[in-house]
Amino acid sequence: MFGGLREKLRAARDRLGSSIQAAGDTPQAAEKAPAELPGQQAGAPAGAAASVPASPTFADKVRVLITERELIVSEKDVNDALSELEMTLLESDVALPATDAIIDSVEKNLVGKHRKIGESVDALVVYALRSALLGVLGTGFDLRDYISKHERPVKILFTGVNGTGKTTTVAKIGAYLKKEGFTVVIGAGDTYRAGANEQISVHAERLGIRIILHKEGADPSAVLFDTVQYAQSHKIDVVLADTAGRFHNKANLMSQLEKIKRVMKPDLVVYVDEAVAGNDAVTRAFEFDKIVGADAVVLTKADMDSRGGAAISIAHTIGKPLMFLGIGQAYDDIMPFEPEKVVDELLEGGA
């Protein structure tokens, strides 16, 4: 997952580190005066007798010279490396607002910072990259926690473009929630696509999850209304409502979705798209959220995505949290999106 981005970040990290190291190795940096020696009063002329305690030993002096010499990282030291990082992010399909936010944050965390000579430059750089990435990735969305604190049934409506893995995601989340001890019912709200009913029924049967179906061509609002009624009367914890793929620019299909929302009153609208679509996924999510609204996002096919741009940018760009990443075709190939874990993986081998 995101292997290309990981490699590029490794190169950017090395580049930033060597720029700072090179600045630290210049004569001016090495000549920086040490802070006052132990036992020396502030402002006292060098060599003035210290009142308390006793004069520093030779060992004290050496230690102070090594530990107190410090380098202040300047903009000039990191400018080129930051421009390269910017290009790297853009090439990896990280959206412009997220790229800008990352560069700003890395710069703030490096420039003007006092670094003690001897302190690991790499640790400084990794810290800056880490906090920049965490800043754009947001908090994630803990579905388990949400369900456990919310009135049942929790109704989740899945929307998004056909072929991105929406139906598979509904099945995977059903399997995940079942494993977490919740009861689940699926509503087969994609009544348009030929074979959609069969496809989702096969998933439900394999997973042992109850499914509510109407005939192909039926009103999806009616199917999902029935699904909610079933959940209420059977005290089911979660309703997972599948829908047909809807393009954000098809007004009639969007209005269908509005009707579904009016009828089933979802607690959460989840937008599903594929990580491999990169910037297109981010743009679609943005448009979709503007028109229909979304509370959270699932990105599928992260296992096939080397660039990682959509996963890095989507929460920051649309202001909605990323909930899960799809990481394969099997039912358990889904992982709750945990920003810390993703950053650990991206900065693998970090200090």
Query: How many CA atoms does the CB half-sphere of 230 hold within 13 Å?
Result: 19
Nearby residues of 239 by Cβ (< 8 Å), 6 or more positions away = 153, 154, 155, 156, 184, 185, 187, 224, 227, 228, 231, 264
Amino acid at 269: V
Residue 328 binds to ligand GDP (criterion: CB under 6 A): yes
How far is the C-alpha of 63 from the C-alpha of 211, rounded, in Å? 72
Q: Which stretch binds ligand GDP (CB under 6 A): 35-43, 46-54, 256-264, 322-330?
A: 322-330
Residue with nearest beta carbon to ligand GDP? 326
- Cβ closest to ligand GDP, residue 130 vs residue 214: 214
Hey, which residues between 128 and 167 contact ligand GDP (CB under 6 A)? 162-167
Distances 309 to 279, 283, 318, 323, 327 between C-alpha atoms, Å: 7, 12, 14, 16, 15
Residue 336 CB neighbours (<10 A)? 16
Residue 151 DSSP code = P
**Closest approach of ligand GDP to the CB of residue 335, in Å:** 10
Residue 168 binds to ligand GDP (criterion: CB under 6 A): yes
Residue 304 binds to ligand GDP (criterion: CB under 6 A): yes
Residue 241 binds to ligand GDP (criterion: CB under 6 A): no
Residue 191 binds to ligand GDP (criterion: CB under 6 A): no
Residue 17 DSSP code = H
- Cβ closest to ligand GDP, residue 17 vs residue 220: 220
Residue 300 binds to ligand GDP (criterion: CB under 6 A): yes
How far is the C-alpha of 326 from the C-alpha of 275, rounded, in Å? 9
For residue 241, the cross-strand partners are 157, 187
How far is the C-alpha of 9 from the C-alpha of 94, rounded, in Å? 12
**Closest approach of ligand GDP to the CB of residue 300, in Å:** 4
Task: Look up residue 86 and give its two tokens.
Answer: 């910017």
Residue 183 binds to ligand GDP (criterion: CB under 6 A): no
Q: Which stretch binds ligand GDP (CB under 6 A): 80-88, 206-214, 255-263, 327-335?
A: 327-335
**Closest approach of ligand GDP to the CB of residue 340, in Å:** 21
- Cβ closest to ligand GDP, residue 119 vs residue 333: 333
Residue 245 binds to ligand GDP (criterion: CB under 6 A): yes
**Closest approach of ligand GDP to the CB of residue 338, in Å:** 17
- Chain positions contacting ligand GDP, by CB under 6 A: 162-168, 245, 300-301, 303-304, 326-329, 333
